[in-house]
Amino acid sequence: MKFNVWDLAQDSFLDYCGAEKGLAKASLLAAEQDLARLRKWSEAAGIASPGVLQDTQLRDFLLEAANDLATSSRARLMSTLRSFYRFLIAEGMAVSDPTATIAIARKGRKLPVILSVEQVTRLIENLDGTRPRELRDRAILEILYGCGCRVSELCGIDVMDLDLNDDMLLLRGKGSKQRLVPVGQPAAEAVHEYLSSGRGHLLKSKLSAAVFLNHRGGRLSRVSVWSILKDAARAAQLPGEMSPHTLRHSYATHLLEGGADLRVVQELLGHADISTTEIYTHIDRTWLTEAWLEAHPRAR
């Protein structure tokens, strides 16, 4: 089979990423696509294996790839290739790293959009209905903001993951990593009301372990959660684009504003690297500056 060395290198690397690094499915798929792009280009250039790729050739590939990739995708591609060649060298499948001489331009971080406490309150309390879907939607918003979970984590919550007696929730994050997070009283009450008066109507005669269900009794999808949040934001007359991650960002920022330690916020969010959490300190400093400008007599 032509270029079978590529098959071995790719499959070995992806197995390593999944089994040992614990990458999530979406990250594995992205890495697979990045390597497929490199392989397609290399095959067209007559490069028989990744182990013989030279840095000058890699530069040509990256220049060509940059024509149809966004900045974030280019950064991800380079990150994949760096990890790929480190793995190949460690496994004896390459003797040199063509990525070593290529500098990566650091892209500035875009500060996430957050809501004020008043806006979050208006968003949630605007959902005050008693129909099954209204009870579900309010419980969803309470959990997204009250626990700071990702939308995929929310959709994956099973009934057995809830411990409302101790106000704790088990979440399954990226790479199947699990963490326990506290559930505040408003969220616990909203979930309890939904479970007792709403979920059974959505479940009908079906069986499901999922907490949050669609109108057919199946597990709610991420797309549906996005739609629920956008409808709620529109009904509450909140400006701008809204996503489930907006509530996660707001959760983290409000914790820091309230005096929570950065390491605590890191654990609650399920971030593997604290540098990911540190973006919220920039938001916190922005908030402090705004408060100072408004309050200090010599600020202006």
Determine whether 296 is an active site residue. no
Taken in order of first residue, the domains within the chain and their CATH numbers are 4-90 (1.10.150.130), 117-294 (1.10.443.10)
Beta strands in the chain (DSSP E): 162-163, 168-172, 178-182
Determine whether 219 is an active site residue. no
Determine whether 74 is an active site residue. no
Distances, alpha carbon 82 to alpha carbons 34, 55, 77, 185, in Å:
11, 12, 9, 46
Determine whether 251 is an active site residue. no
Determine whether 174 is an active site residue. yes
Q: Is the pTM of this model over 0.85?
A: no
Which listed residue (39, 199, 248, 254) is catalytic? 248
Query: pLDDT tens digits, the chain, 300 residues: what are they?
Result: 344 788 899 999 999 888 877 788 888 999 999 999 999 999 899 898 899 999 889 888 988 888 788 777 888 898 899 999 999 999 898 888 998 877 665 555 566 778 889 999 999 999 988 999 999 999 999 999 999 999 999 999 999 999 988 899 999 987 778 999 999 999 999 999 999 999 999 998 888 999 999 999 999 999 999 999 999 999 999 977 788 989 999 998 888 888 888 888 888 888 877 777 777 776 555 555 555 556 556 555
Collapsing DSSP states into helix, strand and coil, what is residue 171?
Answer: strand
Determine whether 85 is an active site residue. no
Cα gap 175→146, rounded to integer Å: 23
Which listed residue (37, 138, 150, 254) is catalytic? 150
Which listed residue (74, 82, 174, 219) is catalytic? 174
